[in-house]
Amino acid sequence: MIVIYNTFHCGDALLSRPIITTIRDTFKNLNIILCFNKSLHYLFKDLGLEIREDMILGIPTYNSWFGVYPDFLGTYGLTYKTQIYSFNRQMELQLLPYRLSTQLLKESPTINFPIFNLQIPALPNSIFIENGECRSRQNNLDMNEIIPKLINDFKHIHFYITAKISLQAPNLHDCHDLNLIELSNLSNSCMAFILRGSAACVATYTEQNRGKLRIFYGWNYPYKIWDNNYINCRTYNEIHSLIIKHKL
Alpha carbon distance, N-terminus to C-terminus of the chain: 49
Please report the DSSP string for 16-84 in residue order: THHHHHHHHHHSTT--EEEE--GGGGGGTGGG--EEESS--TTS-EEE--GGGSHHHHHHH-BSHHHHH
DSSP 172: E
Is the model's pLDDT at 136 over the cut of 90? Answer: no
Q: According to the model, what pLDDT value does residue 121 have?
A: 74
- Residues 138 and 218: their CA atoms lie apart, in Å, by 8
Show me where the domains of the chain are located: 2-105, 126-245
Q: Is CATH 3.30.160.20 the right assignment for the domain spanning 126-245? A: no
Is the model's pLDDT at 134 over the cut of 90? Answer: no
Mean pLDDT (whole number) for 104-131: 85
State the Cα torsion 41-185-79-8 to the nearest 10°. -30
In this prediction, residue 139 has a pLDDT band, given cuts at 50, 70 and 90, of confident
**CB-count burial class (<10 Å; 0-12, 13-18, 19+) for 196:** buried
Q: Whole-model pTM?
A: 0.92
Is the model's pLDDT at 117 over the cut of 80? Answer: no
Q: According to the model, what pLDDT value does residue 137 have?
A: 67
Do residues 203 and 111 make contact, with C-beta atoms less than 8 angstroms apart?
Answer: yes
- Residues 2 and 162: their CA atoms lie apart, in Å, by 35
Is the model's pLDDT at 164 over the cut of 70? Answer: yes
Residue type, 16: S
In this prediction, residue 227 has a pLDDT band, given cuts at 50, 70 and 90, of confident
- Residues 17 and 14: their CA atoms lie apart, in Å, by 6
